[in-house]
Copies of this chain bind each other. A is one copy, B any other.
Amino acid sequence: MGEFDLIARYFRRPVRRAALGVGDDCALLRVSPGCQLAVSSDMLVSGRHFLPDADPMALGHKALAVNLSDLAACGAQPLAFTLALALPDADPHWLAPFSRGLLALAQQHDCELVGGDTTQGPLNICITVFGEVPATSASSQALLRSGARPGDDLYVSGTLGDARLALEALRGQWTLPPALLATVAARLHQPTPRVALGLALRGVASAAIDVSDGLLGDLGHVLDASGVGASILADGLVTLMACRGDTLDAVVPRQHQQACVLAGGDDYELAFTAAANRRDAVAAAAAASATPVRRIGRIGSTPGMRVIDARGDTVTGDWQSFDHFG
């Protein structure tokens, strides 16, 4: 099958919102008046970001989800995306479910596939996503990493650590009971981008980031950009996992659970800060977007990050952020 047949068959859909979609040299997009364009690119490489035998439907979902997660972290409304795809061969048994998973999530967020590229090569999925955020020439409603202030509360959405636990189970590090494995594997393979929460947090959160490389590492970018520090309460951290509890405790040590939460990566939750007097507004944003949100710490003026116990003493551990060239 030729490249063009392949595009037409699996990825071309009637244009709805774009002025011009797949099939010309460029796609043409309208950005709403009074809005800025928010843009993000993520590249997923076989063997690095997913296992070579990954289910293609889940992979289609995930490839877009990780990009939508960046829009969520900016409080941007999804608009459109491009897909560049390198494939070893044009296998319909892979392409059909991949495009199904991809386009189902796209439809859910009204985010239109408008263009891209396909080529032969080692499996590589590169998506660039476009969203819009209200802005004037003087200011933008986008959530940035740089807005955290001493005294702000620190929050995370949803659950953390499950994806890493799943990865390690699949690599044979732990043996998890089937029901538990299914729970964490779903978090690894089909993350939920927190787009609705990001939108609800505009004007509420002072800073935000999506947790892709691990909470500590990603939070570190917020602290660096904002010129502040943070303390995180160790107690209760392990209850941030979707698969918490006795069954898990029986097979994975608490210390390791904590490491998964703090530095696991692949969570695609939002970590964000808000002024302490905005707790009601944060709760309202969580409710409006039907997204669980948990307060886990506080921003301080001393640079650096400390994990502390209930008495304020520092808890030590060898947590380490996942770095793509680490």
A30 within 8 A of B: yes
Cα(A74)–Cα(B6), bound, Å? 23
Q: Chain B residues near A296 (CB, 8 Å)?
A: none
CB distance from A198 to the nearest CB of B (A): 9
Most buried by B among A6, A82, A324: A324
Write the chain B residue with the least CB distance to A35: B31
Which of B2, B25, B84 meets A323, CB within 8 Å? B2
Does A325 contact B28, Cβ atoms closer than 8 Å? no
Which of A128-136, A239-247, A300-308 binds B? A128-136
Does B82 contact A133, Cβ atoms closer than 8 Å? no
Given contacts A48-B119, A118-B325, A325-B6, whether A145 and B37 have CB atoms under 8 Å apart is: no
Q: Chain B residues near A114 (CB, 8 Å)?
A: 39
A286-323 vs B, CB cutoff 8 Å, 1 = contact: the mask equals 00000000000000000000000000000000000001
* Residues in A32-75 with C-beta less than 8 Å from chain B: 33, 36-43, 45-49, 70-71, 73-74
CB distance from A232 to the nearest CB of B (A): 20
Which of B24, B84, B90 meets A42, CB within 8 Å? B84
Does A24 contact B90, Cβ atoms closer than 8 Å? no
Does B86 contact A45, Cβ atoms closer than 8 Å? yes
Q: Chain B residues near A130 (CB, 8 Å)?
A: 37, 39
Cα(A71)–Cα(B42), bound, Å? 22
CB distance from A180 to the nearest CB of B (A): 29
Most buried by B among A121, A208, A326: A121
A122 within 8 A of B: yes
Given contacts A31-B31, A84-B43, whether A142 and B210 have CB atoms under 8 Å apart is: no
Does B26 contact A38, Cβ atoms closer than 8 Å? yes
Does B45 contact A27, Cβ atoms closer than 8 Å? no
Q: Chain B residues near A126 (CB, 8 Å)?
A: 41, 43, 84, 117, 124, 126
Chain A residues proximal to chain B, CB less than 8 Å: 1-4, 6, 19-20, 23-31, 33, 36-43, 45-49, 70-71, 73-74, 76, 80, 82-86, 90, 114-122, 124, 126, 128, 130-131, 133, 135, 137, 140, 142, 144-146, 208-210, 225, 323-326
Does B25 contact A124, Cβ atoms closer than 8 Å? no
Which of B39, B46, B83 meets A26, CB within 8 Å? B39
Write the chain B residue with the least CB distance to A4: B323
Cα(A40)–Cα(B115), bound, Å? 7
CB distance from A25 to the nearest CB of B (A): 4
Cα(A171)–Cα(B1), bound, Å? 26
Does B37 contact A28, Cβ atoms closer than 8 Å? yes
Q: Chain B residues near A86 (CB, 8 Å)?
A: 43, 45, 124
10 nearest A-B pairs in the assembled complex, by CB-CB distance: A45-B121, A25-B73, A126-B126, A43-B84, A128-B128, A26-B38, A122-B122, A41-B82, A26-B74, A25-B70
Write the chain B residue with the least CB distance to A49: B119
Please name 10 further chain A to chain B contacts, defined as beta carbons within 8 Å, in addition to the given A2-B323, A37-B37, sorted by A numbering.
Answer: A6-B325, A20-B144, A24-B74, A25-B71, A25-B73, A26-B131, A28-B135, A30-B137, A41-B117, A86-B124
